[in-house]
Structure 1
């Protein structure tokens, strides 16, 4: 009975806190009305939340007759979260407040050929460095969220397989919790991005949507009926490893012709190298000082911005392939919205038109009715903010 009482109190507390987050400034009476909790219960829980500095009384509301209500809001700067986006080439880190607004951002390169032990030590060093840079007291940090590429077992916080880094069975959660003394949540990077979109980005108020993270690899975070869908073995959303070309190049996963070998950042650079090697012209050749191996996806993007037709054509073809793959997702899951994030999504002005064209021409009319495809409003911060949201969702979401 004691356990059930504590669970119910914790559940009600999260309901009240999340209602203030969603609807604040809001009065105690309105919280009771919208949550069906009794006014005394709401008053007691709000008093606790104020005492713990999660909530503040912000202003006086309008009265409909009688005493004017005091309105409540989240005390966003009372506590903070750390979010790490562990990519193939870099680690992006944010420290956010309770509204997921970044108060510190950091980016550092990923050392080539890193092993599991070195990665864990690098993550610990990163956490300590950004904490020192922030000047925040450790007691104000609610926890650490880690968005890791590849297959992740979130309950244990283990990176099962990170194909682009060649790592397996990395115990991220256990290591960081022992070394930092903070709670740690670990999730696949695309799933973390989807969580961030659901709470603070383009997925708010939606029950069914897909976020697609396009960078060094390609992955999808799937939200169905308001919850992350991971699949029976945590591999749902690995669209980067779906085959789109039977005779395509070898992928880091060992297969051939995977989507990410054709539409990721490295794939864009490879396309430009082939174009120039076959006699084509592009500004990228001068940018790379004639060294084709030095061409990067970022160079191709910059060339496209400068009007380079070869670069723009590469992005158009990439958008077409991406649109075909998204059509398969649309027919399978019928989402309300698809949100594009990651570094490649920054080239949306050169990609989106061909994505939309491919979807319009291939998707069933009923499947694309009222469907929206857009770029993440969180921009390049989408995944690290999603990592921080792993911690915030534990605070706000009744589980």
Structure 2
């Protein structure tokens, strides 16, 4: 190892370096390709290795066969990249910089650049999709036969990744207990409304049943089955009754944002308002990501009954700049009036309060795509911020 003017470079055994394998040359060329470095520069770099880590322009020309102009240009670029150093000798000598340190630095910079570019591109794509969401072709399907309807409900529940709103007659709840419990165990928010409840009988008070959903409601009547998954898929099955048994006339499955939004608004405005909450399974540490603002607001109202502290993280579109934004803060207020179509969340980001709306919101500051709510203990939060009190 030699040291000149506080610059350290590596001196290789010239005899060994003359035998640089073709496989090593390919490895270096491929690495330079992935880093976006010209093949000519990799040839010069390999030439320096073969020369034992140092050499003059004349030495490199003999080893590589490159022209003088290309050699000077290549060495200049390699110096800019920090892979080669030049020494003030006569004639000027070029040496390799420590390869492990400098190649890793280039890789790290490349990865950072790719991540930043990816975030920029995905932001543009998401903004374009939201702007032109109306042009996305909706999908509708009809399901005939009660058995087919039962199986499709299983499918819709299992496909949910964030939230499930379900309105179902009490006779069929047991069919889906396992599916709902599994969904909830994976962090899916489940709002279950059970209809045709004439009294608070033992079936509805069953402990296992009350655990399968975050919110469990009861309603005395209802002749339909509705399942909404992630604000993107809804199944509606009007039910007829023959001798006490259900007859599925025909179910509609819609994968359409507009239709799902309408049914979700109906669920919040009509079904929830006419149902009785019989169980809230909300605990400190719960964390749900909602894709429907109405569902998020309803959950917040329930959680606040326990005096929990709620933190919010919102990902959505700024309605003024039309750019993707992410906000984090505490819940300041909730404005939920489903019968008037008003769904709005106020988030305090630390002195600045933003209004958050849902799908295609335009009055609020942000049109939310996802709202993540985390339930925390206000006492523990206070103590953690004031550790000297513990």
* TM score, norm. by length of structure 2: 0.23
Which has the higher Rg, Structure 1 or Structure 2? 2
More RCO (CA 8 Å, sep 6+): 1
- TM-score relative to the length of structure 1: 0.23
- Report which of the two has the higher share of helix: 1
